[in-house]
């Protein structure tokens, strides 16, 4: 069983609504990634952190998505104004360092109606 905890498992939002999901990385893992997996099983990298600092994020993330990994709190990914195309499985993964194996949570499945 994964030690990366993602909540909620399912999220249903209307278009234009905010959608927020959380991730508790595996203990001792300072590196956190967020990926979006669509219905065709394609993975899209969104953003990654080392401790509380953003390492890299894609343009989409900079505009409508916001994410943070505060110390002593769960990491979070929030979509400010959901669109139908945001419907996907959002995966959080953690790693002991930036060039190591990623360990994934079960994901949050977002449906935007």
Partner 1 sequence: GDSVTQKQGQVTLSEDDFLFINCTYSTTTYPTLFWYVQYPGQGPQLLLKVTTANNKGISRGFEATYDKGTTSFHLQKASVQESDSAVYFCALLASSGSWQLIFGSGTQLTVMP
Residues that bind partner 1 (CB under 8 A): 2, 4, 6, 33, 35, 40-43, 45, 48, 55-56, 91, 93, 98-99, 101-107
Task: Tell the smallest beta-carbon distance from residue 105 to partner 1 (Å).
Answer: 5
Q: Which CB atom, from 6 or from 82, has the smaller least distance to partner 1?
A: 6
**Which of 44/64 has CB closer to partner 1?**
44
Q: What is the secondary structure of the chain as a DSSP string? A: --S-EEE-SEEEE-TT--EEEEEEPPTT--EEEEEEE-TT--EEEEEEEETTEEEEE-HHHHHTEEEE--TTS-EEEEESS--GGG-EEEEEEEESSTTS--EE---EEEEE-
Q: How far is the CB of 54 from partner 1 (least distance, A)?
A: 9
Nearer to partner 1, 71 or 101 (CB): 101
């Amino acid at each position: 069983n994964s030690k990366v905890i993602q909540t909620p498992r399912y999220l249903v939002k209307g278009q234009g609504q905010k959608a927020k999901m959380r991730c508790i990385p595996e203990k001792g893992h300072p590196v956190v990634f967020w990926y979006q997996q669509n219905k065709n099983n394609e993975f899209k990298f969104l953003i990654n952190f080392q401790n509380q600092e953003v390492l890299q994020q894609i343009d989409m993330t900079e505009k409508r998505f916001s994410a943070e990994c505060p110390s002593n709190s769960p990491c979070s990914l929030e979509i400010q104004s959901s669109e139908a195309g945001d419907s996907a499985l959002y995966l959080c993964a953690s790693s002991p360092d930036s060039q190591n194996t990623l360990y994934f949570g079960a994901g949050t499945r977002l449906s935007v109606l």
